[in-house]
Amino acid sequence: MSKKLKFQSPTGMHDILLEEQKYFQKIYEVCEDIANFYQFQKIETPILEETELFSRGIGFSTDIVGKQMFTLRTKGGDYLTLRPEFTASIVRAYIEHGMFNLPQPVKLWYFGPCFRYEHPQAGRFRQFWQFGFEVLGEESPVIDTQVIQIFYNILREIRLKKLIIEINSIGDNQCRPYYKKLLVSYFRSREMALCADCRRRLRENPLRILDCKEEKCQRIISQAPQMIDHLCESCHSHFKEVLEFLDEIGLPYHLNPYLVRGLDYYTKTVFEIYEESPEGRALGALAGGGRYDALTKLLGGKDTPGCGGAGGIERIINLMKTRQLRLKKEREPEIFLAQLGNLGKRKSLRLLEDFRKAKIQIAESFGRDSLKAQLARADKLGVKHTLILGQQEALEGTIIVRDMASGKQETIKIEKVVREMKRRI
């Protein structure tokens, strides 16, 4: 005998079932409401993009490009990659569709899955969902603050508390080269105490060492030179204004001089938002982002400033569950439609549509013929009224209305039933 097949979802990828869908829906609705208020337009990009878009945009020396991308070769010989993040795709779309000709800035938001090959753990999957907001075509520091405010507001709207913003400036191509030299000098004298990945990063991109989570590297990083002490005048002024704007709107932030994030396209402001608790810290950043003024030109477009960020949906849901945040209950049906016989079923199909158009929630069980079974179902649902449409009622153009609490029944004309039920409920 052949072995019975037992398929399962791939490692690190998961089904989003009914209970999870409620949380996804809540986060989507909050994002959509915030996007509408701040006048962001929704965009959807392909899940697959040319591999070079990410390797060039995110950076060849990053862990994402070096270790985590799902890449395939097409029959035509092209290399495509499942998107590991959205920003490079958004910038590609901005360039490809000539959005630089639109009134600037262009404000876009998204909600969808990303893919990274890494060890699955709490809040970290190989297929994971993100929402994000991107602003292209404006270099003012007020945009940095507004982007941070948007993510903070979304997390507060979801009713997460004790939120803290970690923020830093990583400079630009004017001041960062000198800082890199300082880092190389510092880490080279301590190279043998670094992990294997950081020894490689020291040769390829020393800034990436600051993003290492290994405990032995963290001890060395904590004494490293800080970028904020070596910013050029322009970057220093920009960052000072961002912090002044954050002070003005009263957002809680903590200056983290070693925050760099794991993508090479960032310039100037970078930020992450955490819940300030042991569980929150263990999950990692709920949202993060920053400014990427050089990315559009790097990907073949005009010199265009940009700023944005993304939120990790599974991480946020984990925290919502830990905090036992109650979601708005779905509207329960107050009416059940029971039918008997083929003619009763046919008339019930049309009647169900009449209730839908009247926006009255109604339950049914068309697959069952037994009135007893249907009444038991209505009782289990806890509806106030059951409508019974049998062969005789269908022929006479009537319907029976049963009060489920008292058991009393009355017969009314079928064309009046929608109006009558709207009155009763």
**pLDDT per position as a tens digit, 364-402:** 988 877 889 999 999 999 999 999 999 999 999 999 999
Question: Which of 299, 322, 345 is the C-terminal boundary of a domain?
Answer: 322
User: 88 and 39: one domain?
Assistant: yes
Peptide bond into 105 cis (omega under 30): yes
Per-residue model confidence (pLDDT) at position 123: 63
What pLDDT digit, counting tens, does each position of 95-120 carry?
Answer: 999 999 999 999 999 999 999 998 77
Residue 298, in any domain of the structure = yes
Residue 217, in any domain of the structure = no
Top-confidence range, 200-209, 263-272, 364-373:
263-272
User: Distance between CA 151 and CA 131 in Å, rounded?
Assistant: 10
How far is residue 54 from each of residues 64, 68, 115, 296, 297, measured CA to CA in Å?
9, 11, 12, 13, 14
Tokens of 394: 């269908």
Number of compact structural domains in the chain? 2
Per-residue model confidence (pLDDT) at position 65: 87
Per-residue model confidence (pLDDT) at position 3: 67
Q: Is 48 left (phi over 0), alpha (psi -120 to 50) or beta?
A: beta
Nearest to residue 161, comparing CAs of 244, 270, 279?
279
3-class secondary structure per residue, 349-381: HHHHHHHHHCCCCEEECCCCCCHHHHHHHHHHH
Per-residue model confidence (pLDDT) at position 116: 94
User: 315 and 413: one domain?
Assistant: no
**pLDDT average, residue stretch 320-337:** 84
Question: Which of 280, 299, 322 is the C-terminal boundary of a domain?
Answer: 322
Nearest to residue 153, comparing CAs of 343, 315, 311, 323?
311
Q: 293 and 203 in contact (C-beta within 8 Å)?
A: no
Q: Which structural domain range is residue 380 located in?
A: 335-424
Residue 186, in any domain of the structure = no
User: 397 and 308: one domain?
Assistant: no
Residue 10, in any domain of the structure = no
Residue 215, in any domain of the structure = no
User: 126 and 252: one domain?
Assistant: yes
User: 316 and 345: one domain?
Assistant: no
What does pTM read for this prediction?
Answer: 0.87
Residue 209, in any domain of the structure = no
The dihedral formed by the CA atoms of 98, 100, 101 and 105, expressed in degrees to the nearest 10: 140
Residue 197, in any domain of the structure = no
Known binding-site residues equal 85-87, 116, 130, 134, 261, 265-266
Per-residue model confidence (pLDDT) at position 368: 78
**pLDDT average, residue stretch 54-80:** 90
What is the arrangement of strands in the sheet containing 385-389, beginning at the earlier edge strand? Answer: 362-364, 335-339, 385-389, 398-403, 409-413
User: 32 and 169: one domain?
Assistant: yes
User: 344 and 366: one domain?
Assistant: yes
CATH label of the domain that carries residue 144: 3.30.930.10
User: Distance between CA 157 and CA 151 in Å, rounded?
Assistant: 10
- Element housing 184 (H / E): helix 176-188
CATH label of the domain that carries residue 400: 3.40.50.800
Residue 123, in any domain of the structure = yes
Known binding-site residues for L-histidine equal 85-87, 116, 130, 134, 261, 265-266
What pLDDT digit, counting tens, does each position of 271-281 carry?
Answer: 999 998 888 88
User: 64 and 104: one domain?
Assistant: yes
User: 80 and 51: one domain?
Assistant: yes
User: Distance between CA 418 and CA 423 in Å, rounded?
Assistant: 9
**pLDDT average, residue stretch 138-154:** 98
Q: 89 and 46 in contact (C-beta within 8 Å)?
A: yes
User: Count of alpha carbons within 13 Å of 261, Cβ hemisphere only?
Assistant: 27
**pLDDT average, residue stretch 143-163:** 96
Average pLDDT, the chain: 92
Question: Which of 289, 322, 355 is the C-terminal boundary of a domain?
Answer: 322
How far is residue 211 from each of residues 9, 198, 290, measured CA to CA in Å?
31, 10, 15
Residue 232, classed as helix, strand or coil, is: coil
Instruction: Assign 412 a pLDDT band (cuts: 50, 70, 90).
Output: very high
Give the whole-number percent of the chain exceeding pLDDT 70: 99
Per-residue model confidence (pLDDT) at position 273: 97
Tokens of 172: 């630009």
User: 296 and 364: one domain?
Assistant: no
User: Distance between CA 206 and CA 64 in Å, rounded?
Assistant: 16
Residue 1 reports pLDDT greater than 70: no
User: 93 and 130: one domain?
Assistant: yes
User: 363 and 314: one domain?
Assistant: no
